[in-house]
Amino acid sequence: MFRSWTARINNRGDKRAASIPRSRPRKARPRLLGLVLVASCVLTGAKASRAGRPLVVDDAAPVAVGHVEVEIGLSHTRAHGGGRQQAVPMLTTAYGIIDKLEIGLGIQRVNQDQREEARVRGFENLHLLTKFTIIEEAEVLPAAAFSLDVSVPTANAAKDLSTGKSEQAFTFIMSKLNDLTGLHLNLGYLLVDSPRGAKLKNRLRGGIAAEYGIHPGTAVVGEVFGSSRASKGEQNEAAFQLGLCYALSSGLLLDVAAGRSLRSSGASLHGTAGITWTIDIANHEKAGADSRRGARPPQISYRDRID
């Protein structure tokens, strides 16, 4: 989903300078956006499942074939030295098109106030997302996947929401699940087409996340992630986040999380909350056809929904 490093660490418009680099170099904005889409994971039961909103670190499991996954969230970030940003809404959708492959879209609207800078408000770049499994998890070996995030310069460059250039984020992902615990590792590289005079740099990114099921339908998550500097003269970025997820059902998950930068620059505080809605289109269509024929759809117990 819209968990790519371009969209999340550089702001994923960057994710995520930002997953949207700016038309001119900025000192505070890239660091402020570094936590905009951070924190939580998705557990549908007591067992560790797949990472998801609002974690920055992605998992190696694509959306299941025939399923649609929709993430809706919001976030608030305060930067060291002043300045703040809200992202409402944060929207991502992914579809399991074939076995081991998902495709998706992501976008968010920001409202940013930065000291001594003009207010920035509007939708950032649209992101085209894909992820596919390379190696399935075995008893000893972790699952491995590769993801690609391409930002399309759809945002208004005149309002400082985009540089008018496209960016591509490549991420290698490993995940290992063991009973109540899940571990995820990301290593990525962001290709930046820097506008003349901006001196934005290509960026290395990485992170590690852990999730633990504390109760059927409930899980705690945490992560540490970082990125090389966005432009000459700026610092490398590092941040952490802790969160909680709760499954109302197998297809509806709530999350909340908070974090901050591990350095003197960046976000002094970041908070986010959201929902993840998963729809089995194939079964939904079959249930509709059965209903039209007078057949009663199978009943699902509460335990089935959370386990």
What CA–CA distance (Å, rounded) separates 153 from 186? 25
CA 140 to each of CA 145, 178, 180: distance values in angstroms, whole numbers, following the listed order: 16, 10, 16
Helix, strand, coil proportions of the chain in percent (round to 5)?
Answer: 10, 50, 40
pLDDT mean by block of 10 residues, the chain; 307 residues: 41 34 34 34 35 87 95 92 89 95 96 83 96 94 96 91 91 93 96 83 95 91 94 88 93 95 86 96 63 46 34
* Cα pseudo-dihedral 126, 64, 88, 230, rounded to 10: -50
pLDDT of residue 228: 93
pLDDT of residue 293: 54
pLDDT of residue 232: 81
pLDDT of residue 287: 53
Per-residue burial over 113-138, b if 16 or more Cβ lie within 10 Å, else e, is ebeeeeebeebbbbbbbbbbbeeebe
Retrieve residue 149's tokens: 């995030």
pLDDT of residue 268: 85
Domains defined for the chain, CATH in brackets: 5-282 (2.40.160.40)
Tell me the three state secondary structure of residue 281. helix
Classify residue 295 by its DSSP letter: P
CA 143 to each of CA 59, 74, 100, 151, 206: distance values in angstroms, whole numbers, following the listed order: 9, 30, 11, 26, 17
- 């059927």: which residue's tokens? 216
CA 51 to each of CA 42, 43, 175, 184, 279: distance values in angstroms, whole numbers, following the listed order: 6, 8, 9, 8, 17
